[in-house]
């Protein structure tokens, strides 16, 4: 199984495979995870525990441990940078997109995505600031 070094890049891949393509299953829902612990409202839980600007421990543990096969990774041709991604809501139910919580820090994991050809939202979204256009171009990855 592939080992991601950058958690936030892995989240972009999970968004594509789990929430968009629906090929990575089962789908993770933080509400279900917290409900099993007797917590009914993820948003109230996040606010009450001062977790508005953090990845909930339950979500981080799940997504860090999640194995994605090389075959499934090979299906990723596009990634979308957008502060409103479902995976971010599952990680941080009250995140407002006004900080660098989900900034990708490294492009080293691009080796895990042999067929990636397009990353959208790089120019419109602050979380794309670390996307070096020269590195992407050298790999044949366009940005929009």
2 lies in a domain?
no
Question: Residue 50's domain spans which residues?
Answer: 7-143
- CA 83 to chain CA centroid, Å, is 10
Confidence at residue 70, expressed as pLDDT on a 0 to 100 scale: 97
Residue located via tokens 């109230």: 44
- Asked whether residue 43 is assigned to any structural domain, the reply reads yes
Q: How many domains does the chain have?
A: 1
- Domain membership of residue 80 (yes or no) is yes
Residue 35 resides in a domain: yes
Helical (H) or strand (E) element with 119: strand 118-120
pLDDT value for 49? 95
Q: Assess if residue 1 is contained within a domain.
A: no
Residue keyed to tokens 């995976």: 87
- Mean pLDDT by groups of 10 residues along the chain of 144 residues: 90 98 98 96 95 94 97 97 94 90 90 96 67 87 90
């Amino acid at each position: 199984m592939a080992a991601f070094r950058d958690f936030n890049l892995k989240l972009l891949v999970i968004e594509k495979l789990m929430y968009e393509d629906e090929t990575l299953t089962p789908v993770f829902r933080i509400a279900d995870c917290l409900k099993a612990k007797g917590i009914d409202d993820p948003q109230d839980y996040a606010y009450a525990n001062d977790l508005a600007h953090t990845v909930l421990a339950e979500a981080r543990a799940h997504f860090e441990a999640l194995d994605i096969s090389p075959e499934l990774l090979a299906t990723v041709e596009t990634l979308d940078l957008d502060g409103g991604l479902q995976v971010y809501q599952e990680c941080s139910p009250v995140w407002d997109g006004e900080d660098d919580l989900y900034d990708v820090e490294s492009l080293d994991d691009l080796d895990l995505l042999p067929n990636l050809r397009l990353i959208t939202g790089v120019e419109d979204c602050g979380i794309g600031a670390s996307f070096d256009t020269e590195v992407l171009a050298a790999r044949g990855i366009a940005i929009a």
